[in-house]
Amino acid sequence: MDNRGNLREFLIGRRARITPEQAKLPAWGGNRRVAGLRREEVAMLAGVSVDYYIKLERGIIGAVSEGVLNAVARALQFTPAERDHLFHLAGVTATIRPGGTRSTPYVARPAVRRVIDAIVDAPAFVTTQTGDVLAANALGRATYSPLYDGEETATPNTARFLFLNPRAREFFPEWEDNAADAVASLRAHQGRNPHDERVSHLIDDLNRDSKEFRTLWRAHDVRYHDTGYKRLHHPVVGDLTLTYEVLELPADPGQSLVVYGAEPGSPTADALRLLASWTAEHTHADTHD
């Protein structure tokens, strides 16, 4: 689907999500034929003509101002990620995050690798917006060991693991939430970079091979994931509840440094120390074989 079709499906889906009550509109008439808001209601809330909004929703309008897009975003109560996605789909580049239109380098620079290798007491990774793990420190590889087991490539992809590897549901106890987040990230990246062949191939593969992915993809959800927590069930040390921070790498557009941590004194902190010790012992043994 091209950006015109994505814009149409995105706006229709978001319009169906907002009720008249949420938009502080009277629920005119008892028998509404559409879920959520009508097109004319969105047009009224955004301060544009109904014909103009219909053309925008159909993706057939030529030029559109930032003011109109902002008004539509407010009318449909968009999150910041959804607002940015609307701008990308509509072809307005003024508010795209820096680096959003440049291709993503798919190799982590040696200097960045040295940074994550210097982090010895926390899992750290270099990732792309499409879920490719370009580099990981020793504790990161140990923490995400199921992601690397049996991988024929040195660059595993978390979305492929989530949807195509049966072990993912055991490794991610909150699989449904993690899967939805992964799809929302892919959808946002595709909106920013519609001609990225790597993400197109990835989406095609997942649409072909995963029913769950197809269902989530049709929802047109977009989100940013800059901070939060993740629950894992590790095959060696058991359950982990990890916080994470995502730091963009300005010199490498599309890449981010992701660092995990644990609350001091928590069972997860103890498990990470055990895993770090176990990893160090195995690394030492391997180097002396």
Q: Which domains does the chain have, with CATH numbers?
A: 3-90 (1.10.260.40), 110-287 (3.30.450.180)
- Do the beta carbons of residue 69 and residue 87 sit within 8 Å? yes
User: Per residue in 42-73, pLDDT tens?
Assistant: 999 988 889 889 988 888 777 778 888 888 99
User: Per residue in 233-245, pLDDT tens?
Assistant: 999 999 999 999 9
- Do the beta carbons of residue 133 and residue 126 sit within 8 Å? yes
User: Per residue in 233-276, pLDDT tens?
Assistant: 999 999 999 999 999 998 888 899 999 999 999 999 999 999 99
In terms of Cα–Cα distance, which of 263, 77, 271, 89 is closest to 189? Answer: 89
- Do the beta carbons of residue 137 and residue 116 sit within 8 Å? yes
In this prediction the pTM is: 0.74
pLDDT at res. 146: 94
User: Per residue in 159-198, pLDDT tens?
Assistant: 999 999 999 999 999 999 999 999 999 998 888 877 788 8
The pLDDT of residue 223 is above 90: no
| CA gap 50, 53 in Å, rounded | 5
At residue 26, φ and ψ (nearest 5 deg) are -65, 140
pLDDT at res. 282: 64
The pLDDT of residue 125 is above 70: yes
Within 8 A by CB and 6+ apart from 139, the residues are 119, 120, 121, 122, 123, 124, 272, 275, 276, 279
The pLDDT of residue 226 is above 90: no
pLDDT at res. 268: 97
Mean pLDDT of the chain: 86
